[in-house]
A and B are shown apart, each in its own frame.
Chain A
Amino acid sequence: MGHSYEESKKTAVKIIIILGIITICEVIFALIGKGHLIEGVTLPGPLIAIVMIVMSLVKAYLIVYEFMHMKYEVPGLVKSVLLPVFLLVWAVIAFFWEGSYWNNSRNGIQERNEEPIEIQQKVDKQEGMLIIEIER
Chain B
Amino acid sequence: MADTHTHIEHSELDHHDDHHNDHGNDQELWDGGKTPFKVSYGKLMMWYFLLSDAFTFAGFLIAYGTLRISMNTWPVPDFVFSTFPGGFHEKPLYFVTLMTFVLLASSFTMVRAVQEGHRENKNGVAVWMFLTILGGLGFIGCQAWEWNTLISKEHMSITRNVFSRTTEAGIYLDENGKPSTIKENTFESGHSYLIHRTHVADGDHGDAHGGDHHGDAQGTGHDHDDHHAGENHGHDHGYEYHYQGPGDQSAIVDKEGFVHRRYQATDGKDAGMIKTEEFGPKAFGALFFFITGFHGFHVASGIAFLIIIMVNVITGLYVERKNGYEMVEKIGLYWHFVDLVWVFVFLVFYLI
Contact = CB atoms under 8 A, between A and B. Distances in A.
Nearest to A49: B352
A74 B58 contact: no
Contacts of B20: none
Interface residues of A, number: 55
Contact of B66 (A34, A80, A99): A99
Nearest to B115: A8
A41 B339 CA distance: 32
B344 interface: yes
B104 A100 contact: no
B72 interface: yes
Contacts of B351: 26-27, 30, 48, 52, 56
Interface string A63-87: 1100111000110110011001100
Interface stretch (A89-97, A118-126, A127-135): A89-97
B78 A34 contact: yes
A96 B37 contact: no
B220 interface: no
A81 B230 contact: no
A102 B71 CA distance: 8
A40 interface: yes
A31 B108 CA distance: 26
Interface stretch (B46-54, B149-157, B312-320): B46-54
A21 B238 CA distance: 36
Interface stretch (B93-101, B177-185, B253-261): B93-101
A52 B111 contact: no
Interface string B278-311: 0000000000000000000000000000000000
Nearest to A40: B230
Interface string B73-95: 00010100000000000001100
Given A35-B229, A99-B65, A16 B347 contact: no
B160 interface: no
B97 A27 contact: yes
B80 to A, nearest CB: 12
Contacts of A99: 65-70
Interface string B33-55: 00011110000100110110011
A20 B61 CA distance: 24
Given A42-B229, A48-B352, A52-B347, A63 B340 contact: yes
A25 to B, nearest CB: 11
B97 A96 contact: no
Interface bin, chain B: 35 or more
A21 to B, nearest CB: 11
A62 to B, nearest CB: 10
Contacts of A12: 108, 111-112, 115
Contact of B39 (A34, A77, A100): A77
B58 A91 contact: yes
B62 interface: yes
Contact of A63 (B66, B232, B339, B346): B339
Interface in A28-56: 30-31, 34-36, 39-42, 48-49, 52-53, 56
Contacts of A27: 93, 97, 351
A81 B62 CA distance: 20
B133 interface: no
| List of 9 A-B pairs having minimum Cβ-Cβ separation, nearest first | A99-B69, A102-B70, A99-B66, A77-B37, A40-B230, A16-B108, A99-B70, A56-B347, A30-B351
Interface of B: 36-39, 44, 47-48, 50-51, 54-55, 58, 61-62, 65-72, 76, 78, 92-93, 97, 100-101, 104-105, 107-108, 110-112, 115, 118-119, 226-227, 229-230, 232-233, 269, 329, 332-333, 336-337, 339-340, 343-344, 346-347, 350-352
Interface of A: 1, 5, 8-9, 12-13, 16, 19-20, 23-24, 26-27, 30-31, 34-36, 39-42, 48-49, 52-53, 56, 59-60, 63-64, 67-69, 73-74, 76-77, 80-81, 84-85, 88, 91-92, 95-96, 98-100, 102-103, 106-107, 114
14 contacts: A24-B97, A26-B351, A31-B78, A40-B229, A53-B352, A60-B344, A68-B333, A77-B37, A77-B38, A81-B51, A84-B51, A99-B65, A99-B67, A107-B72
Given A56-B346, A103-B69, 19 more contacts: A5-B115, A23-B104, A30-B93, A36-B226, A39-B230, A39-B232, A49-B352, A53-B347, A56-B347, A81-B47, A88-B54, A88-B55, A88-B58, A92-B62, A95-B62, A96-B69, A99-B69, A106-B71, A107-B72
